[in-house]
Amino acid sequence: MNWMPYGPRALLFRFAETVGEEALARQRGIVTELQRHPPAGLVEFVPAFTTILLEFDSKVVPEPDQVAEELLERLEAAAQKILPPAPVKEIPVRYDGADLEAMAKAKGMTVEQVCDLHSAPLYNVYMLGFSPGFPYLGDLDPRLHTPRLASPRPKVRAGSVAIGGEHTGIYTVDSPGGWNIIGHTPLRIFDPARGEPNGPDEAMFRLKPGDRVKFVRI
C-alpha cells in the first residue's frame, strides 16, 4: 500500500494494483475499519477499485501528510482481515435492452447466450459513482466485455442494465449514458423517496460498496 497527498485536506491510499476480488476484499477491510474506528477529524471517505480517499477536517488535522504513515499501517492491517461474506442482493432483470441484439451479433452469440452469461455470475459492487448509487459491478464474463458506445445516448432511463467495458451496471437516474443497454430492472436502485426528508438515510441506496449482486431473469 502507498499514499499520496490530494490537496491540503485529503490523502489517497492505493491498496491494490489491479482490479479484482482480492482488491475488493482489502477495500472491505479498510472500509470496515474506517466505519468502526474513524480516525480523528475524518470528514468522509470514498472507496474505489484500488484506491480510497480520506478527507479530513483541517481544524482537527491541519496537515494530513503527518498522519499518513501511521494511518497506512492501520489500514494495511485492516486490509488483511478476513471478513464474513457480504450480503447477496437479487436484482430482477428483463433482458430487452436496445443494444442486446447488436451485441449478440457482434460476438457471434445468440441473445439467449448473452443473457445466460450475464445472469450466471455473482457480481461484486466494486464502487458507486457516475450518478447516485450507480454500481460498478464485476466480474463480468470476458466474453461479454464490450466497449462503450461511440457517442453516448442523451437519455438512458433509470433501471437500465448495461455493459461498459469490463463492467456491468445499473443506471439509477435518467441521465446521458454510453454503456450498452441489455435489459431493465423494475427495482429502484436509487430512490430519494425512501430517504428521511430531514436527515441522512442510507435507505435511498439499494446497493452499497462491497455488496454482491445476483441478476434474476424475469
Partner 1 sequence: MGEEVFEILEPGPGATLQDGGRVGWRRFGVPPGGAMDAHAAQWANRLLDNKPDAPAVEILLQGAKLKALRDTWIAVTGADAGANVPAWRVARIREGDRVEFPKNHSGVWIYLAVEGGFDGERLLGSASVYARGQLGSRFVRGDVLRRATSARFELPRGVAGRVVDWQERRNYESPSPLRVWRGPQWDLFGAADREQFFEQEWTVSPQSDRVGYRLTGKPLIPSGAQMISEPVLVGSIQIPTDGRPMVIMRDGPTVGGYPKLCLLDDADVSWLAQCRPGVKVRFQLIE
Among 28, 30, 49, 75, binds partner 1 (CB under 8 A): 49
Residue ranges in 76-135 that form contacts with partner 1 under rule CB under 8 A = 127-134
What string marks each residue from 161 to 200 as x (binds partner 1 by CB under 8 A) or -? -----------xx-x--------------x-x--x-xxxx
What SS3 state is found at 108? coil
Report if residue 67 touches partner 1, rule: CB under 8 A. no
Distance in Å, CB of 106 to partner 1, minimum: 23
Cα–Cα separations (whole angstroms), residue 56 to 41, 134, 215: 5, 25, 38
Quote the cell numbers at residue 183. Answer: 435489459
Are the C-beta atoms of 51 and 26 separated by less than 8 Å? no
212, 85 Cβ separation under 8 angstroms: yes
Residues facing 175 on adjacent strands:
156
Q: Which residues contact 36 (CB under 8 A, 6 or more apart)?
A: none
Regarding 27 and contact with partner 1 (CB under 8 A), the answer is no
Would you count residue 69 as binding partner 1 (CB under 8 A)? no
Cell numbers at 150, concatenated: 461511440
Task: Tell me which of 15, 19, 29, 124 binds partner 1, using CB under 8 A.
Answer: 19
Q: Which of 1, 10, 86, 187 binds partner 1 (CB under 8 A)?
A: 10
By CB under 8 A, is residue 56 in contact with partner 1?
A: no
CA distance 39 to 30: 12
Interface with partner 1 (CB under 8 A): 4-10, 12, 19, 43-53, 55, 127-134, 136, 172-173, 175, 190, 192, 195, 197-202, 204-205, 208-209
